[in-house]
């Protein structure tokens, strides 16, 4: 049986290219005791993977050249010699970009296809939802009536952050890159206001207009000039959650921005970077809250699902052009 696998062929310089990836065909060896054979169902592509493709020190080690790329994946158990898993079970985990792969079960989480759609275990009930919930609550500490701005608001994390903030009684302003996204944020996702940064000349002014009382929380997925514009509007004791910096991940030179220090000292403001695993001990309580909201219709999730294993690299590249609304997934 041919089994397609995607390797990291070259470390991207600047924006990743299709040629940075390589498809090969691998054989699957026989299962030994304790192993399961997994058939990939959904593959999650996320901006942070760009960081792992570089050689730089980061919170997770870089991918190795000529080794398979890994990301969040939902897979079906198609054969099992491990008593924890039986044929037909679904699992999620950090797995390789392969059609089929063996696993000894380590790091696999059994998921219940009857309770929520399989894809949500990579989204609102997976790392994406946890990142949104824990970044917002642990660092942002939102209080009823406060104003929050979210950049990358139509993205996987941003779209959930906004809805959680609404559930917690905040005024929610999203920043996104197309009019369609702006419309979606306001209509489907209950955002109070949304701004298209591609058609707005003076972002600082535009934010001020919809946040006349200033910005108490900024959930930052993008960095760069959009984040600079938000700084002009922060209130005393503002909290800025640095979740990602997609706008500058592909820069080959160190990006420059306005100096944040004077804004932080003037406003006694906080800026905090994080990775969701910092808050691992809070995962169960977060999942419980997210499941409750999901069941009650208080979180709507947006997905962009592309069909076919061969589309994984291109779908990853499309993230950097903002082609997704919500979570970007490949269905195999």
Residue closer to its own copies (CB basis): 86 or 266: 266
Q: Are 95 and 36 in contact (CB under 8 A)?
A: no
d(Cα 288, Cα 304) in Å, to the nearest integer? 25
66 part of the interface to its own copies, by CB under 8 A: no
When asked if residue 319 is in the footprint of its own copies (CB under 8 A), the reply is: no
> Cβ closer to its own copies: 101 or 128?
128
> Given the complex with its own copies, which of 32 and 56 has the nearer CB atom?
56
d(CA 95, CA 76): 12
x-or-dash pattern for its own copies, window 44-63, by CB under 8 A?
-------x-----xxx----
220 binds its own copies (CB under 8 A): yes
State which residue, 215 or 271, has the beta carbon closest to its own copies. 271
Output 26 or 278, the one with its CB closest to its own copies: 278
Residues present in the chain in total: 332
95, 206, 243, 299: residue in contact with its own copies (rule CB under 8 A): 243
Residues 250-279 that bind its own copies (CB under 8 A): 254-275, 278
Q: Check residue 245 for interaction with its own copies (CB under 8 A).
A: yes
Question: Residue 295 belongs to what H/E stretch?
Answer: helix 283-295
Cβ atoms of residues 54 and 65 within 8 Å: no
Calpha distance 276→105 (Å, rounded): 22
Location of structure tokens 């870089």: 62
Q: What is d(CA 129, CA 116) in angstroms, rounded to the nearest whole number?
A: 14
Query: Among 242, 287, 305, 306, which residue interacts with its own copies (rule: CB under 8 A)?
Result: 242
Which one, 18 or 258, has the nearer CB to its own copies? 258
User: 125, 114, 122: which is closest to 40 by C-alpha?
Assistant: 122
Minimum CB separation from its own copies for residue 272, in Å? 5
Q: Which of 186, 193, 195, 178 lies closest to 304 in space, CA to CA?
A: 178
- Positions touching its own copies (CB under 8 A) are 51, 57-59, 220, 223-224, 227, 236, 242-245, 248-249, 254-275, 278
């Amino acid at each position: 049986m041919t089994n397609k696998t995607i390797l990291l062929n070259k470390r991207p310089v600047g924006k990743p290219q299709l040629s940075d990836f390589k498809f090969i065909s691998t054989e699957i060896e026989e299962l030994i005791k304790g192993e399961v054979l997994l058939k990939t169902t959904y593959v999650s592509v996320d901006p942070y993977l760009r960081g792992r493709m570089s050689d730089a020190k980061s919170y997770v080690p870089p991918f190795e050249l000529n080794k398979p790329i890994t990301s969040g994946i939902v897979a079906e158990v198609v054969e099992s010699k491990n008593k924890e898993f039986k044929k037909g079970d679904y699992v999620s985990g950090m797995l390789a970009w392969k059609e089929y792969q063996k696993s000894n079960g380590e790091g696999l989480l059994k998921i219940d296809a009857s309770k929520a759609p399989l894809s949500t275990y990579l989204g609102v009930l997976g790392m994406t939802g946890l990142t949104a919930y824990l970044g917002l609550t642990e660092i942002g500490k939102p209080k009823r009536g406060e104003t929050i701005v979210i950049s990358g608001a139509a993205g996987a994390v941003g779209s959930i952050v906004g809805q959680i903030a609404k559930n917690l009684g905040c005024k929610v302003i999203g920043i996104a890159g197309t009019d369609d996204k702006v419309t979606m944020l306001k209509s489907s996702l209950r955002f109070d206001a949304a701004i298209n940064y591609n058609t707005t000349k003076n972002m600082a002014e535009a934010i001020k207009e919809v946040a006349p009382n200033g910005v108490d929380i900024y959930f930052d997925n993008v960095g760069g000039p959009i984040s600079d514009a938000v700084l002009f509007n922060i209130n005393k004791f503002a909290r800025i959650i640095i979740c990602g910096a997609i706008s500058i991940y592909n820069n080959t030179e160190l990006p420059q921005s306005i100096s944040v220090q004077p804004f932080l000292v003037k406003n006694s403001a906080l800026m905090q970077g994080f990775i969701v695993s910092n808050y691992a001990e809070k995962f169960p309580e977060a999942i419980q809250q997210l499941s409750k909201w999901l069941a009650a219709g208080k979180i709507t999730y947006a997905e962009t699902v592309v069909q076919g294993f061969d589309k994984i690299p291109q779908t990853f590249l499309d993230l950097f052009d903002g082609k997704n609304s919500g979570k970007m997934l490949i269905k195999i």
